[in-house]
A and B are shown apart, each in its own frame.
Chain A
Amino acid sequence: TQLLEQSPQFLSIQEGENLTVYCNSSSVFSSLQWYRQEPGEGPVLLVTVVTGGEVKKLKRLTFQFGDARKDSSLHITAAQPGDTGLYLCAGIRPQNSGNTPLVFGKGTRLSVIA
């Protein structure tokens, strides 16, 4: 079973600070998806990265997929209290058939203090 390790597990920062969270594995993934999950709700997709070395930006969020497609990072610039939440990475294993299930990390719980 491929594991996705996310770090840090918890992060508490002041408004305006920058931060990076990491998603690492010893296995290759065809793609990685980042989700944000609020308490009692389902994961909401932020981005999908597919190509090794790919960088995607979503406003103040920058996502990068490692060259070897084993790791990914999420960088938030000038964090705001509205960024508070659980950030999950989820990978899809290389597979020829369809219906490829997602493998989730445990998440990074971010708290941005005003």
Chain B
Amino acid sequence: EPEVTQTPSHQVTQMGQEVILRCVPISNHLYFYWYRQILGQKVEFLVSFYNNEISEKSEIFDDQFSVERPDGSNFTLKIRSTKLEDSAMYFCASSVQGTSGETQYFGPGTRLLVL
């Protein structure tokens, strides 16, 4: 069964460093998302992406964040200068279409720890 994959599974970085989190969405999906979950808190939407453009972003997704689809398969989230409060699980998700009721399939997540 097709699934969303994410790499790395864990990332430890120093405050101020840049990190790139990678995702491979399900191959026929057109809509991509990043969510994050700080330990003990709820899953929060960061950004959605379609047709090589950001469709919607939350207030969390500030200028330190960027997304890119560098090739036909990868979807990346870059944090330019990490802060301690960026420590969280980051989940990538994808869906065939972006309509209401459309299932979003989640990857296993990348656990980011900023020291």
Q: Which residues of A contact B (CB under 8 A)?
A: 30-31, 33, 35, 40-45, 48, 50, 88, 90, 92, 94-95, 97-107
Q: Are B100 and A100 in contact (CB under 8 A)?
A: yes
* Residue of A31, A40, A88, A106 touching B100 (CB-CB under 8 A): A31
Q: Which residues of B contact A (CB under 8 A)?
A: 4, 6, 31, 33, 35, 41-45, 48-50, 55-56, 58, 89, 91, 93, 97-109, 111
With contact pairs A88-B43, A90-B43 given, residues A45 and B105 touching in the complex (Cβ less than 8 Å): yes
Q: Are B107 and A42 in contact (CB under 8 A)?
A: yes
Interface contact tally, CB-CB below 8 A? 80
CA–CA, A98 and B4, complex, Å? 20
Q: Are A41 and B109 in contact (CB under 8 A)?
A: yes
Interface centre among A90, A92, A99 (most CB of B within 10 A): A99
Q: How far is the CB of B104 from chain A (nearest CB, A)?
A: 6
Residues of A near B4 (CB, < 8 A) are 42
Q: How far is the CB of A23 from chain B (nearest CB, A)?
A: 12
* Residue of B35, B42, B45, B101 touching A106 (CB-CB under 8 A): B42
With contact pairs A99-B98, A102-B35, A105-B42 given, residues A45 and B55 touching in the complex (Cβ less than 8 Å): no
Residues of A near B42 (CB, < 8 A) are 88, 104-107
Residues of B near A98 (CB, < 8 A) are 31, 50, 55, 97-99
**Top-5 shortest CB links A-B:** A98-B98, A30-B100, A99-B55, A99-B48, A99-B98
Residues of B near A44 (CB, < 8 A) are 106
Q: How far is the CB of A64 from chain B (nearest CB, A)?
A: 16
